[in-house]
Amino acid sequence: MSPTSTDDQHTLRANVLGAADTAMMAVAGSAPAYSIAASTATLVAVAGLASPAALLYCGVPMLGIAWAFSYLGRKDVNAGASYAWVGKALHPALGFLSGWALIVSATIFMVAGSLPAGALTLALFRPGLATNTALVTLVGAVWFAVMVVVVLLGAHITARAQWVMSSIEVAILLVFVVIGFARAPHIAVHSFSLSWLGFGHFTGFSGFAASALVATFYYWGWDVAANLNEETRSARRSAGLGGIVGVLIVFVLFMGFTLLVNLLLTSADISNNSGNLLFVLGQSIWPGVGGRVLSLAAMLSTVATLETTLIQVTRTMFAMGRDRTLAGAFGRTHQRWRTPWLATVVVAVVSLLLFVLSNLLGSIGTIMTDAITAIGLQIAFYYGLAGVAVVVSYRREVLRSARNAIFIGLWPLLGAAFLFWVFGESIRGNTAAVNGIGLGALAIGIIPLTIAWRRRSPYFRRSGPDEEAPPTEAALAAERG
């Protein structure tokens, strides 16, 4: 059950974030410019002109999962988010694996995110250097190290950095969406078709599932707002609302840019520039400077999402350490900054080792494609469990009103069913390498799960879904704030 200790070593700093901060963090977590730059070539490879449809039909159930997180957070304020909620509503083993899925997906992302950070930074100065994997890895590692320091300093400092980076990013993206659609009638290489929003361009159910898995990666990250709930004022409402607002904002941006890609770029433009797609799109929309301006947005987005991913994984590890399902040392915070310093350092070291190993895996494009698809499996797994958990947790209230039936019951449950279907269908269509990364990393979690179970961690004796978890000290302080 949720901790009740007043020991400062086991609590995060409360009341440092507001509702607007969590919404901005949710947008930064989904990283619209980064997702477009890093994932569009992969999405087009499996969906073609149906890429907007994949984002549309994944966005609707994803919003259902955001509602699930919002309502689960109202019952239990816990930095572990899905780890804590799924464990309480369904089963502790499933809760542990939810937390583990976030840890491994975030760790893999450190490679998938830091490589573009390096490539985009180099492209701003000399585009030819963006294909040098060793140099890209080095620059990405430097950016990652800077974000590690910022995260160590606390959520307040992190939020300030996000306001600067993400505000500039979103402003640039909105300007280019407006200019792009205004100029599209004069520069388009394809005419708009409503079929782009239908199922006709997918290669059957397997093609749709593969597209939806990539689209899931686009949206992933908004739930960082939930992991920050112990540090948020009026946490039982604000953290969940921030996640919902974040999903809505990035949905609009994703749809706008994916439609522009269909309108303005040929398949050759996309395949030949998979690592620098926003530069090519920017040049098409605003010749001369457009490529560099959109590359700047993508660089800021990539750095910002590295920061939010670090927050997610370290807060999850903090909650698991506090519950003794991982080493107890992870559940302690820095005396001055009140951040989970050991979890942050461990993630940083492991990620830096992965940076070095990534040089041996092949080209940047290959690394990105495999990582994105593998992470999609892990995201679908833990998001789907959260969608089921909210229905179980509120099962005695779900039919008391039409609103409850939709937002607590039907929508989250349909989101969960969709994600589990995508998970199963994608396994059948993925390469052995992708399944090895995605499922193998999940399976490794059985080892620490077994160890924690044998050590009789109190997490595995927690209350069932009919009992309210006692609030943490941070939750009580947040309510007072």
- The residues of the chain scoring below 50 in pLDDT are 1-6, 467-481
- 19 domain residue, yes or no: yes
* Amino acid identity at 269: D
- 3 domain residue, yes or no: no
pLDDT of residue 41: 86
d(CA 179, CA 410): 38
pLDDT of residue 156: 86
- 81 domain residue, yes or no: yes
- Domain of residue 368 covers 8-480
- 1 domain residue, yes or no: no
What's the number of domains the chain is made of?
Answer: 1
pLDDT of residue 472: 44
pLDDT of residue 365: 55
pLDDT in tens, 140-199: 888 988 999 999 998 889 899 999 999 999 999 999 999 999 999 999 999 999 999 998
- 13 domain residue, yes or no: yes
- 399 domain residue, yes or no: yes
Q: Which residues of 106-137 are buried (b: 16+ CB within 10 A; e: fewer)?
A: bbbbbbbbbbbbbbbbbbeeeeeebbbbeebb
- 79 domain residue, yes or no: yes
**CATH number of the structural domain spanning residue 297:** 1.20.1740.10
Average pLDDT, the chain: 88
- 2 domain residue, yes or no: no
pLDDT in tens, 416-471: 999 999 999 888 888 888 888 889 999 999 999 999 999 888 898 765 555 444 44
In DSSP terms, which residues pair with 232 in a beta bridge? 17
